[in-house]
Amino acid sequence: MIETKRLGRTIDGTAILNDITVAFSKPGMYGIIGPNGAGKTTLLRLLSGVDRPTEGEVLLDGKPISAIARKQLARTVAVVQQGGLPPVGYSVRDTVALGRYPYQGWFGDEKEDAGPLIDEALLRMELMHLSDRRLDSLSGGERQRVALAQMMVQNPRVMLLDEPTTYLDIGFQLQLLDIVLEWQRERGMIVIAVLHDLNLASLYCDEMIVMKNGMMYASGSPKQIVTSELVRSVYGAEADVIEHPDGGAPQIVLRRSGAKRSTPQWMDHEVKQTIMG
Amino acid sequence: MSAVYGGASLLLLIVSVGFCVSIGSAGLSVSDVWGILLHEATGISIGGPWPSSDVAIVIQLRLSRVVLALLVGACLAAAGAGFQGVLRNPLADPYTLGVASGSSVGAAFIILFGFQSLIGLWTIPIVAFATGAATLFAVFALARSKGVMAIETLILAGVIVQSFFGAFVSFMVSMSQGVVNQILYWLMGSLALRSWDHTYMLLPFALIGIPIMIYHSHRLNLFAYGERHAAHLGVHVERTKLIVLVGATLLTAAAVSVSGVIGFVGLVVPHLLRLLVGSDYRRLVPLSAIGGGIFVLWADTLARTALSPREIQLGVVTAIIGAPFFALLLYRHKSGRGGIKT
């Protein structure tokens, strides 16, 4: 379980993140949504333990994340960054194998042979035929799959994804989230993903967290979160909400007229009341 | 695979040493050279006896110079691989970063003004390390913009610092009692007139610095994916960076202390090896150390025999090979063909 206590981050006197207290206690898919500059990536980076908060703390299984050794942390928490892996000169197989780093000795040796584990990840991500190709010869979507395969062999309990579907076309977006969901259910992981697309988030997430201006604005199930009011007050856009034909997840349909950029203060308050109770 | 590469490189090393120790301007025959070496190493005499001047030529001049060339090359190439890995910059090496020039300021100051024994045998390399590290710091400060160091900007900063310190060293030589020839020595490096003492001075730094580079080589593989991603995979990024930068600077400073500035070794050797054995730093770092030794050994043999009995500066030889190579790397990097990437 991973949780934050009054988490804040201030850079050069500007508060980017403010007073975030949230607990991801059960296995499941958690989506973080919100407009650009709301602090989503900042929150994810603090959860990863690589960036340090200026206020509050992140706890992993009750222990301050800053007190956990890097390798030990990497066995529990894995991250796919925005934009995925860079186009480097290493092969797909070598890249995926690096996911074993936290389990290895100083020269990359491991007690048990990680070969079968790597094969399984390559197979699952449909990368077997590309395994000797160099990353700099792959498309963005393929590199994103390599990043997931690397994460798979890292075998974490907590998975942090920062906009994993950006730059992918819709076919790959669905494929990627299908794989993540299936894998999450199989291993009972906590998956926390920053998602840009509200409809995708609603379709795949068990719980959603809405960020606005560096604060947590709302949280709850997709049914509680995805409403016309919320879209208006958080994004300043007009939208209708309809039910998805499979399973009834709320889906937004944007309306063309009157995309308001600012919202009156009373609206914020009222929406918060309805949503957070 | 690794065993094959290791074996092949060691074989090449032995052949190179055997060849380079056998040729020179003194006109000794190959059988005399090997007879002397065998006699000195094991006490067994085949042929001989040899006049003591011949023994001195082989042991004190040739063998010591061969060993020193190997050590200098190993230090510079291992440092180059380390710099490239930790900075994720294919153009980085002790010379292009200006660290070699920075180290030469400290070393030249100590030697020219006679402070050699200030803190014992290792005064020169330690002072060279201090000025080399300060230089690296200055180059970073010059190159960094909003927390990012662009690949070309870093090298540009290195070149600026390098030309400044080159001028500064020349100025110091002019101010001291030294001869003008010494300027050439500091700017273009040489292994002429060195002795076993120089080998003893360099050896401990090589024995500490190169294993440090090898120990961190696996982590350098992860650095290639970006510092943040390396951290996500469990690397202690700041610690690794500091150790590798300090280690590479130490190796550079020690090499410069005994040989002056010899350019491009740390650039040419790791990149040629990348073409042969791939980008895995676990192979690249140890093989660079061996390959760097071989490269400098051959360059030095060329330097002392090509215009025999006159010598060419060793740095001239490595620059003639290295500078076009550097240009090729820059071109490839700019055109984004990605032939060589770190």
Q: Tell me the count of A-B CB pairs closer than 8 A.
A: 68
Average per-residue pLDDT in chain B?
88
Please, is A113 exposed, middle or buried when counting C-beta atoms within 10 Å of its C-beta (0-12, 13-18, 19+)? exposed
Place of tokens 């007050």: A233
Q: What is the pLDDT of residue B239?
A: 93
Q: What is the pLDDT of residue B180?
A: 65
Q: Is A82 on the interface with B (CB under 8 A)?
A: no
Q: For B160-189, what is the mean pLDDT?
A: 82
A47/B45: higher pLDDT: A47
Q: Is A136 on the interface with B (CB under 8 A)?
A: yes
Chain-centre distance for alpha carbon B41: 28
Which pLDDT band holds residue B38 (cuts at 50, 70, 90)? confident
| Mutate: best of B233, B239, B277, B332, partner A, most A CBs <10 A | B233
User: Is residue A64 in a domain?
Assistant: yes
pLDDT tens readout for residues B256-304: 999 999 999 999 999 999 988 988 999 999 999 999 999 999 999 999 9
As a whole number of Å, the end-to-end CA separation of chain A is 25
Decide if pLDDT at B244 tops 90. yes
Report strand pairing: A28-33 vs A77-80: unpaired
User: Is residue A59 in a domain?
Assistant: yes
Contact indicator for B76, B251 with CB cutoff of 8 Å: yes
Residue B141, both tokens: 């400060």
Grouping H, G, I as helix, E, B as strand and the rest as coil, residue B257 is helix
User: Is residue A72 in a domain?
Assistant: yes
Q: What is the pLDDT of residue A266?
A: 47
Nearest chain A residue to B218 by CA distance is A107
Decide if pLDDT at B337 tops 70. no
Cross-chain Cβ contact A89/B234 below 8 Å: no
Q: What is the DSSP letter of A133?
A: S
Place of tokens 């709850």: A220
User: Is residue A19 in a domain?
Assistant: yes
Cross-chain Cβ contact B279/A86 below 8 Å: no
Cross-chain Cβ contact A50/B231 below 8 Å: yes
Q: Is A111 on the interface with B (CB under 8 A)?
A: no
Q: For B67-73, what is the mean pLDDT?
A: 96
Contact indicator for B314, B255 with CB cutoff of 8 Å: no
Nearest chain B residue to A47 by CA distance is B232
Decide if pLDDT at B84 tops 60. yes
Q: What is the pLDDT of residue A271?
A: 53
Which pLDDT band holds residue B113 (cuts at 50, 70, 90)? confident
> Within chain A, which residues score under 50 in pLDDT?
259, 261, 263-266, 276-277
Q: What is the pLDDT of residue A166?
A: 83
- pTM value is 0.87
Give CA–CA dist B89/B237, Å, rounded. Answer: 16
Cross-chain Cβ contact B341/A136 below 8 Å: yes
Indicate which CATH number applies to the domain containing A202: 3.40.50.300
User: Is residue A250 in a domain?
Assistant: no
Q: Is A76 on the interface with B (CB under 8 A)?
A: no
pLDDT tens readout for residues B302-325: 999 888 778 899 999 999 999 998
User: Is residue A182 in a domain?
Assistant: yes
User: Is residue A32 in a domain?
Assistant: yes
Bridge partners for B145 per DSSP: B148
B118/B110: higher pLDDT: B110
Q: What is the pLDDT of residue B1?
A: 64
Nearest chain A residue to B89 by CA distance is A88
Cross-chain Cβ contact A89/B228 below 8 Å: no
Range of the domain at A22: 2-76+156-222
Chain-centre distance for alpha carbon A149: 16
Q: What is the pLDDT of residue A264?
A: 46
Give CA–CA dist B8/B85, Å, rounded. Answer: 24
Q: For B173-183, what is the mean pLDDT?
A: 73
Nearest-CA distance from B225 to chain A in Å?
6
User: Is residue A215 in a domain?
Assistant: yes
Structural domain count of chain A:
1
Q: Residues 97 to 156 of B: which have CB under 8 A from any A CB?
A: none
Q: Is B171 on the interface with A (CB under 8 A)?
A: no
B29/B99: higher pLDDT: B99
Q: At a CB cut-off of 8 Å and minimum separation 6, what does B203 contact?
A: B71
Decide if pLDDT at B200 tops 80. yes
* C-beta neighbour count of A179 within 10 angstroms: 17
Give CA–CA dist A210/B195, Å, rounded. Answer: 71
Helix axes B64-87, B281-305, angle to 10 degrees: 140
Q: Is A177 on the interface with B (CB under 8 A)?
A: no
